[in-house]
Chain A
């Protein structure tokens, strides 16, 4: 049973527009969430995180929104750039605090 779900395998956006990547989770006990970005032939790199005590965290062009009642978070990239083309993973620590649970990823393609 997937506890962290990314239901859109891919997303295509034009340069300069907003990219919105979505993530849903099933466990209401999750209280910390992360987004990772992965380029081909490289390991995932940490992008941004959010604690459940907040509903928004912003870092430059990247903003993560958390809706606890809907068990939903989203990553907004504004403006999108071709270099943002990558696979984005949503993740949350498991309840035992022993590991991160990752979604299956969303491939973002930003065209110029």
Chain B
């Protein structure tokens, strides 16, 4: 079974609709992240969470909200979807460590392809 899972894998919605993307992990990591990928723009950070009570905005949080329901679950919501939120969305977890210097490896889910009409 995959360590980081995302549901749904594909979603088509209409402008103005509220949708939720879900992420679950079995890696036991405290840190979780949501990114979006757009062609030519790489991966951009939307929100991140270092534990259940810690939620932080990333580079492009406008129009999004998140919920960390448990250590293993981190969901991303689009309250009122708009066409420029059409993108590929990735959830990730991290095995953050500070042994000597800051080091972090992130592990990504398979992604959710979202189309907003």
With A103-B42, A105-B42 in contact, is A44–B104 under 8 Å at CB?
no
Inter-subunit contact B48/A99 (CB<8 Å): yes
Name the A residues within 8 Å of B44 (CB-CB): 102
How far is the CB of A44 from the nearest CB of chain B, in Å?
5
Interface residues of B in 85-117 (CB under 8 A from A): 90, 92, 96, 98, 101-111
Asked if B74 is at the interface of the complex by the 8 Å CB criterion, the answer is no
Nearest to A96 among chain B residues (CB) is B102
Interface residues of A in 1-47 (CB under 8 A from B): 6, 9, 31-32, 34, 36, 41-46
- Find the residue from A42, A100, A103 having the highest chain B CB count within 10 A: A100
Inter-subunit contact B42/A100 (CB<8 Å): no
Inter-subunit contact B56/A104 (CB<8 Å): no
Asked if B12 is at the interface of the complex by the 8 Å CB criterion, the answer is no
Interface of A is mostly: loop
Q: When A and B form their complex, what is the total count of cross-chain residue pairs whose Cβ atoms lie within 8 Å?
A: 60
Inter-subunit contact A42/B102 (CB<8 Å): no
Name the B residues within 8 Å of A53 (CB-CB): 101
Interface residues of B in 34-49 (CB under 8 A from A): 40-45, 48
Number of interface residues of A (CB under 8 A): 26
Asked if B21 is at the interface of the complex by the 8 Å CB criterion, the answer is no
Asked if A109 is at the interface of the complex by the 8 Å CB criterion, the answer is no
Name the A residues within 8 Å of B43 (CB-CB): 44, 89, 102
Bound-complex Cα distance A44 to B92 (A): 9
Bound-complex Cα distance A105 to B37 (A): 11
How far is the CB of B28 from the nearest CB of chain A, in Å?
17
The proximity string for A residues 42-57 relative to B, scoring 1 for CB distances below 8 Å and 0 otherwise, is: 1111100101110000
Inter-subunit contact A104/B107 (CB<8 Å): no
Asked if B63 is at the interface of the complex by the 8 Å CB criterion, the answer is no
Residues of B within 8 A of A (CB): 4, 33, 40-45, 48, 50, 56, 58, 90, 92, 96, 98, 101-111
Instruction: Jot down 10 A-B pairs with beta carbons below 8 A, ordered by A.
Output: A41-B110, A46-B105, A46-B106, A49-B103, A49-B105, A51-B101, A51-B103, A53-B101, A93-B103, A99-B58
